[in-house]
Amino acid sequence: MTYRAIQVGTGGQGARWCDTFLQPHVEAGRVDVVAAVDVDESAHANAREHLDVPAEACYTDVEAAVAEHDADFCIVVVPPWVHEEVVDAALAHDLDILSEKPIADTLEASVRIAEKVERAGAKMGVTMSHRFDRDKTTLRRQIGAESSGPLDYLVGRFTCNARTYGTWGAFRHDMDHPLMVEGAVHQLDFLADMAGAPCERLYADTWQPEWAEYAGDVQATVQLRFENGVRATWEGAKANATTLNGWGNDYVRAECRDATLELDGRELTRYPYDADAEGVVGTTGRERGEAVPLDEREHWSNTWLVGQFLEWLDGGERSDGTRASSERSSDGGEPMETNVHDNLQSVALVEAAIESSETGEPVAVQELLADARAALDG
């Protein structure tokens, strides 16, 4: 089945949606982009060139686009604080939604969006691309392998030389918490996914060095404890002297009972436990590392997630032509893994990190999310 889409945001990351992420699905006849929206008219060229959207179907106003075109879903690729406005327009015209991360710029707005989607009986997916990247997917499978044994703890690192204004996109330099909202939303998400349980408690320390040309904090250390007893430590930085593990090239180490798994620069190494090599002085186990080949599949990251969303739409169509809700049901398919309701966990991690840094205290993540839901209900 071909699904008609309206893409909102065609500049910046939206350009990659036009020329990369959507292309295989357009070529396969699964997606037809019938309209495009961007407040910068020059960005319309991306949709015209790569998605064959005619000039008359390019808009600067999302309300006009959704009102004037018959579509099945809306693609949201705009800054986080604009997401709710686009979601409202999409839901008003009975559109499902596929959105770039995060759901919104605050936990309150994210919970509100999830509730609106549920009330509308719509589907909304969030493209947590790092979780479905090739290297992280391979590592996740290795963590779950019987040969690794149970997972004890995780260590993650995302450190960059991007201190000068505009290096990381000008709007991020003007945000209050750019590292958390626009960076850690990915890293904390895939660490939680690898841990295999919701986060129970989080402590974070964030700051801004004097040489960082940002309005908000861009350096952080975060400690996480998950409900299954797994721990994680994450280091994030945007103002270092050099980039050790930049965007998409994260460092992650998984300490399991029977193996240490180390992902660094998209190369995965497995160090099996060796009882004969036990010791604490003068030697390392580096020479015993075994290179692990990365998994193979046709598409990765956002392109893979678009496919998952389309499969969800396929499975959620009822025999009478109406659509099932985003919850699992007997007459609809399984929601994609990063559906808006489950993805609230990712936003809650970011909100907890911000609150912890501001208060200097650890935060009970599930209580924070429950309180946000209760405040909305009240």
CATH of the domain at 278: 3.30.360.10
- Cα distances (Å, whole numbers) of residue 255 to 262, 273, 284, 358: 9, 10, 15, 30
Based on the fold, state whether residues 218 and 274 are members of the same structural domain.
yes
Distances (CA, A) of 195 to 153, 154, 171, 188, 190: 8, 8, 32, 10, 8
Considering the domain boundaries, does residue 350 fall inside one?
A: no
At which of 257, 292, 327 does a domain end? 292
Amino acid identity of 203?
Answer: Y
Domain assignment present for residue 376? The answer is no
The owner of tokens 């609106």 is: 116
Q: Which stretches does DSSP call E strand in the chain?
A: 3-8, 31-37, 58-59, 73-76, 96-100, 124-127, 151-159, 199-207, 219-226, 231-237, 251-256, 259-264, 267-272, 290-292, 363-364
Nearest-angstrom CA–CA distance, 4 and 13: 20
**Three-state DSSP class for 8?**
strand
Do residues 36 and 64 both lie within one domain? yes
Nearest alpha carbon to residue 195 among 151, 130, 157, 235: 151
Are 141 and 287 in the same domain?
A: yes
Same domain, 28 and 174: no
- Please check whether residues 254 and 200 belong to one and the same domain: yes
pLDDT at 323: 40
CA distance 319 to 7: 28
Instruction: Tell which residue, 136, 173, 352, 361, has the closest CA to residue 253.
Output: 136
Compute mean pLDDT per 10 residues along the chain, 378 residues long, and list them: 97 96 97 98 97 97 97 96 97 98 94 97 96 97 97 98 94 91 92 98 97 97 98 98 94 98 97 89 80 97 97 66 37 81 96 97 98 88
284 and 260 co-located in one domain: yes
Distance CA 165, CA 158 (A): 19
- The verdict on 66 and 157 lying in the same domain is no
Is residue 22 domain-resident? Answer: yes
| All residues at 6 or more sequence positions from 371 whose CB lies less than 8 Å from its CB, including other chains | none
- Domain final residue, candidates 292, 324, 358: 292
Answer yes or no: do 173 and 274 share one domain.
Answer: yes
Amino acid identity at 114: A
Chain centre to alpha carbon of residue 200:
20
Distances from the Cα of 290 to the Cα of 245, 262, 308, angstroms? 21, 10, 32
Nearest to 100 by CA among 124, 128, 131, 74: 128
Decide if 208 is inside a domain: yes
Residue 167 identity: T
Q: Is residue 30 part of a domain?
A: yes
Answer yes or no: do 286 and 144 share one domain.
yes
* Residue 256 falls inside a structural domain: yes
The predicted structure's pLDDT at residue 267: 97
161 contacts: CB under 8 Å, gap ≥ 6 = 239, 240, 241, 242, 243
Helices 185-195 and 344-359: crossing angle in degrees, nearest 10, is 110
Side-chain-facing half-sphere of 314: CA atoms under 13 Å? 10
The domain total for the chain is: 2
- Asked if residue 147 and residue 286 are part of one domain, the reply reads yes
Give bridge partners of residue 177 from the DSSP assignment.
none
Note the pLDDT of residue 278.
86
Q: Which tokens is 87 given?
A: 């979601």
Sign, CA dihedral 168-173-174-176, equals positive
- CATH number of the domain to which 55 belongs: 3.40.50.720
Domain that holds residue 86: 3-130+300-339
At residue 210, the pLDDT reads 97
pTM of structure? 0.91
Classify residue 176: in a domain, yes or no.
yes
CA neighbor of 194 nearest in space, from 238, 121, 145, 257: 145
The predicted pLDDT at position 193 comes to 97
Shared-domain flag, residues 156 and 285: yes
Question: For the CA atoms of the chain, what is the radius of gyration?
Answer: 21
What distance in Å separates the CA atoms of residue 77 and residue 305, rounded to the nearest whole number?
14
Domain's final residue, options 259, 292, 325: 292
With beta carbons less than 8 A apart as the criterion, state whether 339 and 125 touch. yes
Q: Is residue 168 part of a domain?
A: yes
Shared-domain flag, residues 284 and 187:
yes
